[in-house]
Amino acid sequence: MAADGANVPPTAGAHSPTPATAPAPTAAELLAFVRRTAQDAALVASLPLDLEGRTWLRLEGPGGSEAWLIGWPPGTGTGWHDHAESTGAFTVAAGALKEHSLAARLPTDGWQTLELSEGIDRERQLATGQGRAFGRHHVHEVLNESGEEHAVSVHAYYPPLPQIRRYSRTGAVLRLEQTERPEDWQ
């Protein structure tokens, strides 16, 4: 998550493997984790904030999940993207974020451009303490629309992000621009 608005932080270390006997965390368990973590005022206050770009801190997520505490300067966002095969959740720990998402399942491979149907756009305004879970291939963008206030959020993904697909959008047309894999973030 660099100042250029990239959504995925570089991997700070190897992903911790999930023990063979541990079940994968569900989206509800990821949401419970990010909500609990967002209430840790000392942890949230420990994140350095930067006016130029997003900042982050890698966290230990449940069951081998990938988790992050993320600082959002005023006016920053992720751009349209998905988390491929990962389920996920995020909660706002401070400030507010807006999420634009698509209420449609997109094909996972074999396309460059799609014309989106009417009525699939969703918008959520998430204040401190609010969050959401999402399933695999969830296409969204997250924004801090405040002109003055930082936002801080907690995110968790399982399995750890295998890839991120980035999109551009013009009206009803969604275009796949780039696919990133963990080795691209190192």
Q: What is the mean pLDDT of residues 88-98?
A: 98
Contact between residue 22 and residue 63 where contact means Cβ atoms under 8 Å apart: yes
Helix (H) or strand (E) holding 12, with range, is none
Nearest to 60 by CA among 18, 16, 10, 9: 16
pLDDT band at residue 21 using 50, 70 and 90 as cut-offs: low
pLDDT band at residue 20 using 50, 70 and 90 as cut-offs: low
Domains and CATH numbers, the chain: 27-184 (2.60.120.10)
Helix (H, G, I), strand (E, B) or coil at 36: helix
**Distance between CA atoms of 156 and 86, rounded to whole angstroms?**
10
Question: What would the pLDDT profile of 33-51 be if each residue is shown by its tens digit?
Answer: 999 999 999 999 999 999 9
Burial group, residue 90, by CB count within 10 angstroms (0-12, 13-18, 19+): buried
Question: What would the pLDDT profile of 129-185 be if each residue is shown by its tens digit?
Answer: 999 999 998 999 999 999 999 999 999 999 998 899 999 999 999 999 999 988 876
Q: 17: how many CB neighbours lie within 10 A of its CB?
A: 9
Q: Evaluate if residue 121 carries a pLDDT over 60.
A: yes
Helix (H, G, I), strand (E, B) or coil at 2: coil
b/e burial code for range 121-148 (CB count within 10 A of at least 16 → b): eeeeebebeebbbbeebbbbbbbbebee
Q: What pLDDT does 13 receive?
A: 35
How would DSSP label each residue in 63-82? GG-EEEEEEE-TT-B--EEE
Burial group, residue 52, by CB count within 10 angstroms (0-12, 13-18, 19+): exposed
